[in-house]
């Protein structure tokens, strides 16, 4: 099936692979059929047969069959573009320069040929790139999750599944990209169930009584110094209005409300670290103490916030990721 993505990533007319040049070592051709307004022509990419056999079970079996009598050139005609095979050959040939693969679209373009030709030697390179893209392009987590399932790499599936928690997934499900369209519906449903379990777990922690020592909010509230917002300025209040460590101040309630709202669509601890200044200021302003105490809250809040984010991340990490590859 041809997609707009395939069209966008097809080799441009100016693209010329260095594998068009033969050498004394090359003994096999990858023949690519190209059709344009001027007609049909073929492009030959030169490689070493032994490298193909070593990298691909598909070519190992195919090239074990004797060539037809009288055929002077050994070649195989393929359907993919020159750009796709240029990238594949760069991974197959250890002496070639590295493949220019920098985006999830680049990986999606070569995924089908990798599976079709059983290029298992190429998979580790793809998995390494996807793991790096998961860090640099977190918004692509859902597509990387789908690609990891196609590649059947369990570790990457688990990592990508957790990364999808940090993005909003539209409901009803509308897949974007061929790799997502090819994912079975029951796996998508299980991903939504996993997100719901993470949401429920985070919500249960946020709804704990913050006055209880077992509460994560209580632990980080105490350790950050926010439990003591007593006013030391007698000119301001005239008294020492100590807020008890067992109390439930208004600002902490406001903080909890904002967090619960945020995880409704994004059940991940990463959303807490991305809270905007206006939200943090709203929390500070709901303090039921004087201006001096509000400043104390403002100064100590970063320490509380950082510890809270780490604690909540540990909570969500304890939720088991489904065995998508075993379903």
Which residue shows structure tokens 């990364």? 163
> How many helices (DSSP H) and strands (DSSP E) are in the chain?
15, 3
Higher-scoring residue by pLDDT: 101, 45: 45
Mean pLDDT of all residues in the chain? 81
Give per-residue pLDDT as tens, 120-132: 888 998 999 999 9
**CA 32 and chain centroid, separation:** 33
Helix (H) or strand (E) holding 149: helix 141-151
Strands 28-36 and 75-78: parallel
Q: What is the CA radius of gyration of the chain?
A: 29
Provide the pLDDT for residue 231: 57
Give per-residue pLDDT as tens, 57-76: 999 999 888 777 766 778 89
| Secondary structure E strands in the chain | 28-36, 39-47, 75-78
User: What integer is the mean pLDDT of 277-285?
Assistant: 60
Provide the pLDDT for residue 239: 44
Q: Which two tokens stand for residue 206?
A: 């946020």
Measure the CA–CA gap between 316 and 197, rounded to whole angstroms: 9
User: What integer is the mean pLDDT of 92-105?
Assistant: 84
Taking every pair of C-alpha atoms in the chain, what is the biggest distance, in angstroms?
106
């Amino acid at each position: 099936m041809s997609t707009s993505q395939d069209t966008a990533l097809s080799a441009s007319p100016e693209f010329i692979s260095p594998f068009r040049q033969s050498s004394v070592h090359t003994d096999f051709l990858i023949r690519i059929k190209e059709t344009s307004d001027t007609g049909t022509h073929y492009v030959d990419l030169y490689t070493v047969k032994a490298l193909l056999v070593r990298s691909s079970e598909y070519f190992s079996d195919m090239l074990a069959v004797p060539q037809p009598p009288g055929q002077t050139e050994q070649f195989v005609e393929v359907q993919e573009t020159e750009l796709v095979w240029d990238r594949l050959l760069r991974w197959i040939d250890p002496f070639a320069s590295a493949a220019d693969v920098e985006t999830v679209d680049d990986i999606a373009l070569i995924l089908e040929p990798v599976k079709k030709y059983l290029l298992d030697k190429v998979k580790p390179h793809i998995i390494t790139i996807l793991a790096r893209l998961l860090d640099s392009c977190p918004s692509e987590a859902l597509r990387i999750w789908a690609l990891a399932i196609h590649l059947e790499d369990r570790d990457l599936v688990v990592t990508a599944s957790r990364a999808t928690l940090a993005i909003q997934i539209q409901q009803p499900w509308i897949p974007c990209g061929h790799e997502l369209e090819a994912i079975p519906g029951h796996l998508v449903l299980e991903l939504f169930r996993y997100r719901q379990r993470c949401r429920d777990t985070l919500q249960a922690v946020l709804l704990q009584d913050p006055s209880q020592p077992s509460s994560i909010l209580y632990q980080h509230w105490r350790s950050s110094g926010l439990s003591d917002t007593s006013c030391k300025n007698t000119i301001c209040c005239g008294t020492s209005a100590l807020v008890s460590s067992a109390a439930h101040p208004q600002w902490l309630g406001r903080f909890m409300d904002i967090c619960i709202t945020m995880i409704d669509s994004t059940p991940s601890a990463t959303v807490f670290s991305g809270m905007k200044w206006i939200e943090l200021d709203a929390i500070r302003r709901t303090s039921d103490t004087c201006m001096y105490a509000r400043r104390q809250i403002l100064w100590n809040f970063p320490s509380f916030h950082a510890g809270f984010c780490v604690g909540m991340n540990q909570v969500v990490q304890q939720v088991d990721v489904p065995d998508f590859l075993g379903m």
